Amino acid sequence: MNDSTTPRGTRPALSRRAVVAGVAGGAVAVASPVTAAVLGRGTATSARAAAGSTRRIRMFAERMADGQVGYGLVQGQPTIPGPLLEMWEGDTLEIELVNTTDERLSIHPHGVNYDVDSDGSPFNDSFNEPGETRTYVWKTQAPYRDRGIWMPGSAGYWHYHDHAYQGDHGTAGVRAGLYGALVVRRVGDVVPDKTFTVFFTDVSINNKFAPDTPMFEARLGERVEFVCVGHGDSFHTFHLHAHRWALNRTGLITGRDDATQVVDNRDLNPGDSFGFQVVAGAGVGPGAWMYHCHVQFHSDGGMSGVFLVRNADGSMPPGAQASLDRFAEHHAGGHAGHAAHAAG
């Protein structure tokens, strides 16, 4: 869901990343701006300098006007999903979480190292009471050898979420909107121009249904990254029209003879996460391309959205606005349709 406007070769500790520009005519709702913690983003050279550093950020868990709850880096600006957090292998991230709600809650990560005090679970008595501020420490590592055995590093596409809101397992917190994406990069990884965050939660996308699902936007030729995460109780598959990726850690191949399977659809089930990079419109051109769950009645019920690839100069490609108009009209009432299907 997040859209990087950070120039390559820079290393801001924090930067504001707007998601997308508006769509002409307002036919499709677009995601609202999100503040993201970009930790050491830059070239491989700057990554080497950044890796191994310790950074501290403050996050706020806040109730929203519609009754949902979100994380944010600026008080009064919670979002669903919460801010994209990025680290390099070797980094340590200290998160000072401020709970502004009247419920206990926490933040629990996947894919990184932490001690029991930073687990974020009631099982380890690790959570924020109402109004409490608590610091969680996440550490990462590069691959290393231990007694002759290679141990895996932390690089990957991960996520974080509540584990204490109205229960011991994070069920209510996830459904309320307390979740976000976590990316750990390895020195030498290709850094994208933009990163989009997609959560399939129950039968919603980022807690929304079409036509209100987030629209992700790029210009022709931009390198974009999708971070895809599954939550809830339902089986899903993620499909992106007209673009494909390699089924490995980065989604990229290493050369002409790389035999890694290439896909355009992948299972995305509860607790699962993956990511990949594509060049917007490569080989197919600009246009309005759909992404959706390929479990058919989920897609019918509103689990679909739009990846808009504009022309290289930023203008709208021919036919794209008409596609957006049709998307909005076709999916009107989709959530009710899904409910009727489930009830039947």
In the chain, the amino acid numbered 333 is: G
In a domain, 95, yes or no: yes
Task: Give me the pLDDT at residue 331, please.
Answer: 54
**176 shares its domain with 237:** no
**166 shares its domain with 222:** no
Pairing of the two strands 34-36 and 15-17: antiparallel
Which of 191, 208, 230 is the last residue in one of the domains? Answer: 191
CA gyration radius, the chain: 20
Distance of alpha carbon 311 from alpha carbon 50, whole angstroms: 34
Task: Give me the pLDDT at residue 318, please.
Answer: 97
Task: Give me the pLDDT at residue 338, please.
Answer: 46
In a domain, 22, yes or no: no
Total domains in the fold of the chain: 2
Q: What are phi and psi of 26, to 5 degrees?
A: 65, 30
In a domain, 74, yes or no: yes
Distance of alpha carbon 90 from alpha carbon 16, whole angstroms: 24
**170 shares its domain with 310:** no
Q: Is 294 within 8 Å of 242 (Cβ atoms)?
A: no
**213 shares its domain with 277:** yes
Task: Give me the pLDDT at residue 256, please.
Answer: 95
Task: Give me the pLDDT at residue 52, please.
Answer: 81
Which domain CATH number covers 237?
Answer: 2.60.40.420
Q: Which domain holds residue 145?
A: 46-191
**93 shares its domain with 103:** yes
Task: Give me the pLDDT at residue 329, please.
Answer: 85
Query: Given the structure tokens 């930023």, which residue do they identify?
Result: 314
**142 shares its domain with 267:** no
CB neighbourhood size of 10 (10 A): 12
Sign of CA dihedral 82, 86, 90, 92: negative
Q: Is 181 within 8 Å of 159 (Cβ atoms)?
A: yes
List Cβ neighbours of 252 (8 Å cut-off, separation of 6 or more). Answer: 190, 245, 246, 276, 277
Pairing of the two strands 194-201 and 262-263: unpaired
| Structure-token pair, residue 137 | 């420490």
Task: Give me the pLDDT at residue 37, please.
Answer: 61
**64 shares its domain with 130:** yes
Q: What is the pLDDT along the chain (344 residues), one digit of tens a residue?
A: 333 333 333 333 333 332 222 222 333 333 333 334 644 444 444 444 456 899 999 999 999 999 999 999 999 999 999 999 999 999 999 999 999 999 999 999 999 999 999 999 999 999 999 999 999 999 999 999 999 999 999 999 999 999 999 999 999 999 999 999 999 999 999 999 999 999 999 999 999 999 999 999 999 999 999 999 999 999 999 999 999 999 999 999 999 999 999 999 999 999 999 999 999 999 999 999 999 999 999 999 999 999 999 999 999 999 999 999 999 986 544 444 444 444 33
Task: Give me the pLDDT at residue 337, please.
Answer: 44
